[in-house]
Amino acid sequence: MSRRQYANWGYYIPYGLWIGLFVIAPVGLIIYQSFLNLNHHFTLANYETYFKSGTYLMMTVNSLWWAFLITVFTLLISYPAAYYIHQLKHRQLWLLLTILPTWINLLLKAYAFIGIFSQSGVVNQFLGLFGIAPQQILFTNFSFVFVATYIQIPFMILPIYNSIDDVSDSYINASRDLGATSWQTFSKVIWPLTLPGVKAGVQSVFIPSLSLFMLTRLIGGNKVITLGTAIEEHFLTTMNWGMGSTIGVVLIIAMVIIMMLTGDRQADGGRVR
C-alpha cells in the first residue's frame, strides 16, 4: 500500500526550518565557538587549557560525582515509592500527586530550602530541641545534594512506575507458584523487567544534574561547581564564550555517553528546568 501525503510540502517548511536553525545550527555553533579565543581567532588553546589545567578536569570529575550521588539517592528513594504507589487503590490519583510538585517552579522550591536550612531556620530549631547548636546547613555540599534529590524524585518515580505497570501480574504469580521467595521474585523477575524504567529515570535525572547551576548558586553557596555552573560563569560573568563552549562540548559528550549506557529508550518524564 502506498503511503499517503498528509499535506503539501509547504506545511513542513516551518518544522524543517526549526530543525535547521534551532537544532543543528546551535550545536554546530557551540562546537565552532569552542575553537575560538577571546579575540575570535581559531585556536586549540581552550581544549589545551581544559586538559592541562587540573582545575577543569577536577571540576568535571566532581560534577559527575555529584550527579552520580544525586542519581543514586533519587533511585533509592523513588524505586520503593513507585512500587508502593502501584499497589495503592487510587494509584492514578497518587501518581498525579507525585508529579504535581514538578509544576511548582524549581526556583520557588529552592527558595523554600533557603528558609528551611538557614542558621535560625526550621531544621536548626528542630535540632535545638535536642540541645544541638545551630549548624551551617545551607551552602554546604549536603544541602546541594539534598535539594537536588528532592527536585528530581518525581522524574524518577514516573518512568519506574510506568515500567512496573507494564509487568504482568501473571509473571509474579508464576514466580510465587514456583516457590520463589519475595526477595527472589523481586530480584529475578520484577527488577529485570523494570530495568528499562530505571534506565529512563537515571537518564532523566543524571543529565540535568550535571547542569543545575541555579542550585549551586542558591543552595550550594558556590562551593559545588558543576559543569553547568562553569558554563554559566564563562558565558554570563567572565564573557569567555570560547572556554564556556569547550566545557559545553564536554557536557554534550558526557550526555551522549550516558545516553548510550542507558539505552535509547526515551524518558517520558520530561526534564527539569
Partner 1 sequence: MTKRIHWSNLYLILVFIVLYAPIIFLVVYSFNSGTTMDHFNGFTLSHYGELFADTRLIAIVLQTLLIALLSALISTIIGTLGTLWIQQTSRPFFKNTLLSLNNILIVSPDVIIGASFLIFFTTLSIPLGFTSVLLSHIAFSIPIVVLMVLPRLKELNSSMLDAAADLGANQAQILREVIIPFITPGIFSGFFMALTYSLDDFAVTFFVTGNGFTTLSVEIYSRARQGISLEINALSGLLFVLTLGLILGYYFVSQSHQRRMLKRKRGVAK
List the interface residues with partner 1, window 224-243 (CB under 8 A): 227-228, 231-232, 235-236, 241
Name the minimum Å distance from CB 60 to partner 1. 14
Interacting residue with partner 1 among 12, 51, 171, 191 (CB under 8 A): 12
Nearer to partner 1 among residue 198 and residue 230 (C-beta): 230
Name the minimum Å distance from CB 101 to partner 1. 5
Contact 247, 231 (CB under 8 A): yes
Nearer to partner 1 among residue 198 and residue 227 (C-beta): 227
Contact 182, 129 (CB under 8 A): no
Name the minimum Å distance from CB 20 to partner 1. 10
Cell numbers found for residue 260:
548510550
Running DSSP on this structure, what letter comes out for residue 22? I
Residue 125's SS3 state is: helix
Nearer to partner 1 among residue 69 and residue 121 (C-beta): 121
First to last CA, the chain: 44
List the interface residues with partner 1, window 16-75 (CB under 8 A): 16, 18-19, 21-27, 29-30, 33
Residue 36's SS3 state is: strand
Distance, CA of 141 to CA of 127 (rounded, Å): 19
Dihedral of alpha carbons 216, 218, 222, 224, sign: negative
* Residue 159 within binding range of partner 1, rule CB under 8 A: no
Contacts with partner 1, 102-121, as mask; x by CB under 8 A:
-xxxxxxxxxxxxxx-x-xx
Distance, CA of 270 to CA of 259 (rounded, Å): 15
Name the minimum Å distance from CB 48 to partner 1. 21
Running DSSP on this structure, what letter comes out for residue 221? T
Distance, CA of 210 to CA of 143 (rounded, Å): 16
Name the minimum Å distance from CB 64 to partner 1. 13
Nearer to partner 1 among residue 29 and residue 58 (C-beta): 29
Name the minimum Å distance from CB 231 to partner 1. 5
